[in-house]
Amino acid sequence: MKIGVVREVGHLVIGSGLAGLSTALQLADAGEKVTVITKSNIDDCNTKLAQGGIACVWDDKDSFDEHIKDTLDAGGRLCKENIVRVIVEAGPEALKELIARGARFTTRGELGASSQRDEFDLGREGGHHKRRVLHAGDITGAEVERTLIAACRDNPDIEILEHHMAIDLITKRRIGIKDGEDQCLGVYVLDNKNNMVNTFLSLSTTVATGSPGKVYLYTSNDDIACGGGLAMCYRAGLPIANMEFIQFHPTILFHPQIKSFLISEAVRGEGAVLKCKDGQGGMVEFMDSYHPMKSLAPRDVVARAIDREMKRRGEDCVFLDIRHHSEETLKRRFPNIFGKCLEAGFNMSKDLIPVVPAEHYSCGGVLTDINGYTGVPGLYAVGEVACTGLHGANRLASNSLLEALVVPRFLAKHILENRDQLLEIRPDNLYPAWNCGNASNTDEMVVISHNWDEIRRFMWDYVGIFRTNRRLERAKARIQLLRSEIEKFYWDFLVCRDLLELRNIACVAEIIIDSAMSRKESRGLHYNADYQELNPELDYNDTIIQKKI
C-alpha cells in the first residue's frame, strides 16, 4: 500500500445519492467549496433504484395536515410530529427547486389524459389516502440522480472523487485532543484505484452514505449499501437511534435469474391486488383479513402478512394481479417494470407477478435534528443514514426521497450560520495521518467472503420480518464471535474495500440486534412474537445505542 497524503478541503460530503448531492449543491450555491467522495461510480447508489417517486402535497385536493396524518399513522406513535410538519411543509419548494434544476416528472398528458395534459400525474402508494407521489414513470430515482449529477458536474465549486471509500471519522476526541469541545476534523479515505489511504481535513463533514441493506441476505438495495456511514458514526461515539425498525418491501420480483428487482408500491397504488394460492388450484385475495386498506396497507402490515401466508401455506411466493389494466396502459405507466417482468416471462396485463418481501429501508440511523446536525460540531448526517424522527417505526412510502431533498436545505443553512464558530474551535496542531503499522497483505480473502455470507444469512433468519427472543439471542452470540474475528483480521491486514465493508456490516448488524433486543414490544416494523402487543408506555421513546469512547 502506498503512503497516503493529507488534503485540506472546504466541505466534505460522503455519498453521491440524492441526500449527498443535494447537500453539495446547496453549499456550492452559497459559494462554498465542496468535495464529494463516493466509494464506487457516482451513480452507484440506492437513489438511482427508486421507482415510486417523491411524496409531496401538490394537488389542491390534498393538504399538509393529511400528509402529516398519514405519516404519523404509518409511524406507529414514534414519529416526531414537529419534524414531520417541517419536512412535509417544506416539500413543495424543495421540489420546485429540483424541477428548476432539470428534473422531469410524468404528466397526465404523457399517460394519455385528454384534459389537464400539463399537470403532473400523481401516484398513490401504501398508507397514503391521497394521490401525492410525483414520479418519472417508474424510474424516478434514475431521473433525480441524472439531474443532480449533471448539476454537480456543471458546478465549478464541486469536486467529485469516485472510488474513494471513507474508513473512519477524525474527531478531536478519537485522536486524543481532550481540551475544549469535540469537533469533527475530517475523515480517513481509501483511494481504491491508487491503493492508498489519504487524510481529508474539512471544515464540515456530511455523512450521506445511505442504507445498510446488504446486512441482509435478500434486499432491494444496491451493492454499495453496506452501512459504512452508520458504522463510522457509531465508532466515533455518536448515538444511533431506532435501528430495530428495518423496513422490508413487500414486493420484490421472485425469479431465480433476476435478483433484487423491486415491484414498486405504485403498482398497488394503481389497483394491483395481492393474491395467494387457495390450495384448490385457484387464487384468493388475503389482505382484507389483515387491514382495512387491504393491498394498500402500510408496508410493515403487508410484509408480515405475505410472510405469514407464505409460511402458513408452504409457498415460495405470493402474486400481484394488475390484469384489469391494458398492456398499453401498463407500458406507459410502468415501462421499466413491464420490461423487466417481460424479461422474466410475465406479461403484467395477462399474467400474475410472483413477489416476495426483501429488506428495503432503515427507519433508524445516526440521531440528528432537522438540520442533519449530530451534536458534534462540523459533523452532519442526512438521508437514510440519519434518524431525524420523520419515519418513526415505519416509513410512509416515498417520504424517503422527500426527506433527502428537504433536509440538505436546512443542513447547508446551519453550516453557514456556524462557520465562524467551527473555525474558532479548530485546533492548531497537526492531525495524525493514517498509519498502517505492521499490517500486511492478506492471502485469505475466503475469510472475508465466508463471514460476509454468514452474517447476512443469520440476520435474515433471526432478525428479519418475524423475530423472537431466542432468535435474537442466537444472532447476538454469533455476531459477538464474528466481530471479534473481523476486528482482529482488520488490525492484522492492510485495508481493502471488501474488508472495510465486512467490518461495517458486522458493526451495523450488532447495532440492529442490540436495538431489537432492547425493545420489549411489537411496534411498526419491529415484530417480536414474545412481545406481540404495543406498549403505550414506550410511545415516542427512541431506542439509543451508543459506544463509549
- By annotation, the residues acting in catalysis are 299
Closest CA to 394 of 82, 81, 73, 67: 73
Length of the chain: 549
What secondary structure does DSSP assign to 465-515, as a single string?
Answer: SSB-HHHHHHHHHHHHHHHHHHHHHHHHB---HHHHHHHHHHHHHHHHHHH
d(Cα 245, Cα 467) in Å, to the nearest integer? 12
Q: State the helix-helix crossing angle for 445-462 and 469-492, rounded to 10 degrees.
A: 160
Which residues, in sequence order, are bridge partners of residue 109?
A: none
Are 262 and 355 in contact, with CB atoms under 8 Å apart? Answer: no
Phi-psi region of 40 (alpha: psi -120 to 50; beta: other; left: phi over 0): beta
Give alpha helix (H) positions in 298-418. Answer: 299-313, 327-333, 335-343, 399-417
Residue 396: all three cell numbers together = 410512509
The answer for residues whose C-beta is within 8 angstroms of residue 41's C-beta and 6 or more apart is: 162, 163
Are 20 and 450 in contact, with CB atoms under 8 Å apart? Answer: no
Residue 237: all three cell numbers together = 461515539
CA 171 to chain centroid:
25
Give alpha helix (H) positions in 154-207. Answer: none
Half-sphere exposure of 524 (CA within 13 A, CB side): 33
| CA distances to 51, 145, 199, 377, 490 from 431, in Å | 43, 35, 9, 17, 22
d(Cα 71, Cα 96) in Å, to the nearest integer? 22
Amino acid letter, residue 134: L
What 3-state DSSP class applies to 296? helix
The answer for residues whose C-beta is within 8 angstroms of residue 428's C-beta and 6 or more apart is: none
d(Cα 525, Cα 121) in Å, to the nearest integer? 30
Numbers of helices and strands, H then E, in the chain: 14, 21
Closest CA to 127 of 261, 337, 302, 244: 302
Q: State the helix-helix crossing angle for 469-492 and 497-518, rounded to 10 degrees.
A: 150
CA Rg value for the chain: 23
Are β-strands 246-253 and 353-362 bridged in parallel, bridged antiparallel, or unpaired?
antiparallel
Q: In what order do the strands lie in the sheet with 365-367?
A: 386-387, 365-367, 240-241, 544-545
